[in-house]
A and B are shown apart, each in its own frame.
Chain A
Amino acid sequence: MGLKISNLKKTYAQGSEKLTILNQLNLEVNTSEVVAVVGASGSGKSTFLSLVAGLDYFDEGDIAINNQSIKNLKREHITKFRAENIGFVFQQFHLISHLTAFENITLPLEILGRPYADEEILKALENVGLAHRAKHKPTEMSGGECQRLALARGLITKPSLLLADEPSGNLDSETGVKVMNLFFEQVRATKTTTVLVTHDMELAKKCDRIFVLKNGSFN
């Protein structure tokens, strides 16, 4: 199982009251499967992503990635687990502006302490059509190029799970389509289990399954 979420509950304290964001949320994503999570603003998409990424603690239930539960992992272990198992692609790319495209891709490997060959990185850049941009910084690249670079970075550690948060949200429609085609091409080629959070139903339809987040759980 790529991702298994069982009876997940997350509440936030708001003054003296407790605000339930996610409740009895269940989800099973098979290995290599690409699923979409859609939902209106405020439906809990960001909370869902934070919990799956191990960035926040949940109140009840469990999350297992590649059959490993993250429920009882301590903070330092969860960070390591995230580095080894989870890749990210963000709407606003979140690339390091002072690093080159090449260095942005190597960063997750450096953090992991995993050795790499330059050819491997160049291949990853080539896969997203950016081999010629290896020495360029994100500030010198277009939005589409930045998102492709973010995708290459998300996949470089060969994660068990790729979390993509509105990856085309910051791109014009034409570039968005091109980038997302490449996105699907890459995640499928690498057989990476992927959770794509989006509000774009057209994009969601390209995934294997769609889950709609409403009132804190999937309908």
Chain B
Amino acid sequence: MKIKDLFKLSILELTRYKSISLFLILNLTLGLIGFFLLQIFQQSLVLQSAERAQIVLGGDISISARRSFTPEEVKQWEAELKIEKFSKFYSMFSMLRTANDSKLVSVGVFDDNFPLYGKFKLSDVSFTNDQPRVWIDPEILDILSLKNGDMVEIGDQKFLYSGIIEEDPTRLFRGAAFAPRVLIHQKYLGVAGLMKEGSTFTEYWNYKLNPQSNVELNKTKIETLVTDPVVRVQSTKDKAEDSNRILKYFADYLGLVALVALGLCFLCSSYLLQWTFLTKKKTIAIYKTLGLSDKKIISIYLIQNLIISVLACFLSVVLVQSLLPIVQNLIINRFNLPLQLVFGFKAFSVTSMIAIFGPILIVVPQIMQIIDLRPLMLFQNVDTKVKKNIWYYIWLVVSVSLFWALAVWQSHSYQVASIFTGALVALIIFFQLINRAILVVLERFSSNFNWLLKYSVKGLTRKPASTGLVFTTMCLSTLVLSLLPHVKTSIISEVRPENASLMPRLFLFDIQPDQVNGIKTASKEILKSELELSPMVRSRILKINDKNYERAATNDNMTREADQEARSRNRGINITYRNYLQNSENIIEGNFEPVHTDSESLPQVSLEKRYAQRMNINVGDKMTFDVQGVELQAQVSSLRQVRWTSFQPNFFILFPVGVLEEAPQIFLTSVYSDDLKATKKFQNRVSNEFKNVSIIDVSRTIETSLKYVDQMSVGLQFMAWLAVLVGLFVFVVLLNTQIKERLQEMNLLQILGAPSESVFKIVLTQFAILITASICFGVLLGLAMAWVLITFFFDIKTVYDLNYLLILGSVLLPVCGLALYVGLEPLKKLNPMDLIRQQ
């Protein structure tokens, strides 16, 4: 038999089992859509980040640090570079003040060469240094009504409002930032007095290199020269990988939800393939009797799968293409991301690979059964049980491992992927067990029911494989769907508690030591309250347990954990000192030492628990800090849990008093007040009297953060609904196959005297029990999982969104009900005579 004949036979079989083939294609298509869309999103993000990396970075190579570079350092690296042009840039926070109002802004301080690449689109005046001018982000106009010719103050300098920044090529996406950007010329930086001792700013040295230069080689050379880990050397390649980190993290989690849908689709395919295999078993035995080799029969099976995969791919391409404008619209309007979704080859090829290799893996148990099948079975009853030998278990382990690998690839994290895959496998096992337990209980009690109910229950309990599949898929998809809103509600509730006075109104930073008393006085006079100011000392870690703490390189192939660890290493660390714990802190390990008195022993510091975990630091470990040039040793005496959402000045590292008092420091504080007018007055006074002090409007920042939470939640919900769609599809498929399988049984019941309505009621009851139980369990487990996730991952109080549960129930149950009603239609046309005619 030639390959052409095998193809012919495969197509013949596919058309003979039309509805099953169609189910398999649709099932795979549904599973692929979410994954495909996500690939397009990720690839578009990567592509556009790479295309604009040079402009976003501001040069071919950029060297930056949260400190000023010394001329020696600059000379040292410039000797290595073939520079065509360079531009120096500063970025810092400050208050933008008008006569009546003020707003925290991110000040970009440019020079005459700015920008080295790309072009800004400004509403009125081009960049110039003829006089102190300021260009602002459009959203500032909504807060401070400015018109051309108005003067605004930044630091100690008045600037002329010169228009809005309509297009900023250095920012790939302009999200709802809590501090919008303003641009001023470097000529006025000194007079504005924005860079005082202890002020937080970042200095960038951006270089346009000779086109013949090897950027990556140059970068490596500079990294060797500049050993200070707080100095960041970035090439365009780094920038492409680094930009939109939050979006990439978000896409990771979207990917995991898409994997749930894909996993459910493979579970359904696996059931359908086994179901079809059983109906084809005799045909396969006939093939074997006629002399067709196992290899050829398997080829027929694989060709069928390949055709299904190709058709599913084609259908998903068509559907994704039609969905793309809707998703694009959602991304631009709902997410406020001007990301152009591009239907790329890479996204297509990745999805196709999964579409082709996934089903091949799924079909392995049937291939094993084909090999085991003896033609003798033609004379026997069809054995419906799958023999679970060692190879079956090997296949199972391989499948789970590949799924795990896919999860690692999607989440860029061994830890997240392992937890995700482990939880998914555990949930599937748990759902199967729960399903069995429910059925056992139901069967035990069914003896007291009427025959209809008794028979319905037996129909469920005696078919654990099919009921288990519906239960598992519906439970899992409902769980995913019901889990997310609780997380969102808990986050919202955490940052916006009912009693608004629990949250600070303002957050003040960059307060110089000589300004502390003035600010305290202003608070006492205007807000009638005492302010607690927290000192902040900039430092960097030199050693942990006498081991040097060096710069770690980051790249796109890193897992998220490694990337976070590297970033933590490369960042300078802000430390504080206090002899008390704030109400947002509590010690979870070791002892808090409030005062350091013994000069013979090391100061005992307290570390935030997650920071310690990330940095692999334990109680008792020794740390060496560089506090603005002075080396300081300390020992970790305790780990603290910190409620970051309190918006109090929280720190990773807390020193006891008696160590850092003499170090250069600035102060931070949060302001609590129910009196909005007084708060505004206080803000204006501070921003006018202490011009370098930055003030964050906490409620506005919370609104901004909630916007992000809301946007991310929409994305995740979209994926979760896709998972539910797959779950519903599995339900419809099961309904269809079960009804086909049971038509004879239903005819028999009628012959035995059961009214046709009873027969209809039996199947209706069975699926109604199944769907209600699975949705209820999915929701209940969603509540439990939400608690685990919110408590242990987000570290906040769980607040359930019960309204959403009502909405979910009122959508899911009628949809399932409708699917059930339509699915049961064939039962209305039952004809018991068929049973006699079959004889």
Contacts and interface: CB of A to CB of B under 8 A. Distances in A.
Nearest to A107: B752
A46 B752 contact: no
Given A107-B455, A110-B454, 18 more contacts: A46-B839, A49-B836, A53-B836, A79-B753, A79-B754, A83-B753, A83-B754, A90-B839, A92-B838, A98-B458, A103-B458, A107-B451, A107-B749, A108-B753, A110-B455, A111-B451, A111-B758, A166-B839
A79 B463 contact: no
A169 B752 contact: no
B458 A79 contact: no
18 contacts: A46-B833, A46-B837, A46-B839, A49-B836, A50-B836, A55-B836, A79-B753, A79-B756, A80-B753, A88-B752, A92-B838, A94-B835, A98-B459, A99-B458, A110-B451, A110-B454, A111-B754, A166-B839
A28 B579 CA distance: 109
Given A103-B458, A110-B454, A113-B451, A46 B753 contact: no
B660 interface: no
Interface string A81-112: 01110001011101011110001000110111
B832 interface: yes
B822 to A, nearest CB: 24
Interface in B453-467: 454-455, 458-459, 462-463
B836 A96 contact: no
Contacts of A53: 751, 836
Which of A46, A83, A96, A112 is most buried by chain B, counting CB atoms within 10 A of its CB?
Answer: A96
A165 interface: yes
B833 to A, nearest CB: 5
Interface string A54-88: 01100000000000000000001001101110001
Contact of B748 (A50, A94, A112, A165): A94
Interface string B728-755: 0000000000000000110011111111
A139 interface: yes
B384 interface: yes
A171 to B, nearest CB: 13
B833 A55 contact: yes
A56 B753 contact: no
Contacts of A165: 836, 839
Contacts of A56: 833
Interface string B750-792: 1111111010000000000000000000000000000000000
A209 B237 CA distance: 97
A107 B459 CA distance: 13
A88 B748 CA distance: 10
A88 B749 CA distance: 12
B601 interface: no
A47 to B, nearest CB: 9
B670 to A, nearest CB: 66
Nearest to A108: B752
A82 B459 CA distance: 24
B749 to A, nearest CB: 7
B803 interface: no
B810 interface: no
Given A55-B833, A113-B451, A139 B458 contact: no
Chain B residues touching A, range: 20 to 34
Interface in B382-432: 384
Contacts of B148: none
Interface string B204-228: 0000000000000000000000000
B381 interface: yes
Contact of B751 (A76, A82, A96, A113): A82
Contacts of A88: 751-752
B743 to A, nearest CB: 12
B512 to A, nearest CB: 81
Contacts of B459: 98
Contacts of A112: 753
B833 A50 contact: yes
B837 to A, nearest CB: 5
A55 B751 contact: yes
Which of B463, B751, B758, B836 is most buried by chain A, counting CB atoms within 10 A of its CB?
Answer: B836
B745 A96 contact: yes
B775 to A, nearest CB: 25
Nearest to B454: A110
A55 B832 contact: yes
Nearest to B745: A96
Interface in A174-190: none
Nearest to B754: A111
Contacts of A99: 458, 462
Contact of B755 (A79, A98, A110): A79
Nearest to A87: B752
A98 B451 contact: no
Contacts of A110: 451, 454-455
A144 B213 CA distance: 89
A76 B755 contact: yes
B779 to A, nearest CB: 29
B753 A84 contact: yes
Nearest to A56: B833
The 9 A-B residue pairs whose C-beta atoms are closest, nearest first, are A83-B753, A98-B462, A110-B451, A91-B839, A50-B833, A111-B753, A111-B754, A55-B833, A46-B836
A83 B752 contact: yes
A216 to B, nearest CB: 17
Interface string A101-144: 00100011011110000000000000000000000000100000
